[in-house]
Amino acid sequence: MSTVTLYHYPQCSTSRKALELLRERGIEPTIVEYRKTPPSAAEIQAIARATGAPLRALLRTKEPEYLAQGLDNPQLTDAQLAAALHATPALIERPIVVTAKGARLGRPVEKILEVLD
C-alpha cells in the first residue's frame, strides 16, 4: 500500500479512532502530530485541495482563536486562512488522512475509508 499519513492529535478521541481504524486494516500510517509539527501553509492548501472541500472545512470554528483572529471573515483568502492554520495549529480540524488517492477529514471517522486502497 502507498504511504498513508495521519494528521493526528492524540488527545482527540476521533483522531484515536482513526488511528485504530487504520491499524485494524493493517495500515501503520506516518503520524504527524500537527500541534507539535504544524504543516506549512502550502501543505495545508494542498491537503484542502486533496479533500475536494473548501479550505474552510479544515477550520475548527468552535475554538476561541477562530473568532479572536477574525477567521469568520468571508473575505479572507485561502492563503490567509492557511497561514492562520499554520500559525495556530489548534485550529486545524482532525483527524486528516492523506493517501495517494486523496485526503479526507475523518468526521465521521469512516470518511477516511474513501481514500484507502
Cα-flanking dihedrals φ and ψ of residue 30, to 5°? -75, 120
Q: Are 90 and 35 in contact (CB under 8 A)?
A: yes
The C-alpha atoms of residue 65 and residue 68 are separated, in whole angstroms, by 5
Residue among 12, 31, 32, 116 flagged as catalytic: 12
Nearest Cα neighbor of 94 from 38, 27, 41 is: 38
CB 27, CB 15: distance < 8 Å: no
Residue 12 a catalytic site member: yes
57 touches 93 (CB < 8 A)? yes
Quickly tell me which residue has 475536494 as its cell: 52
Residues designated as active site: 12
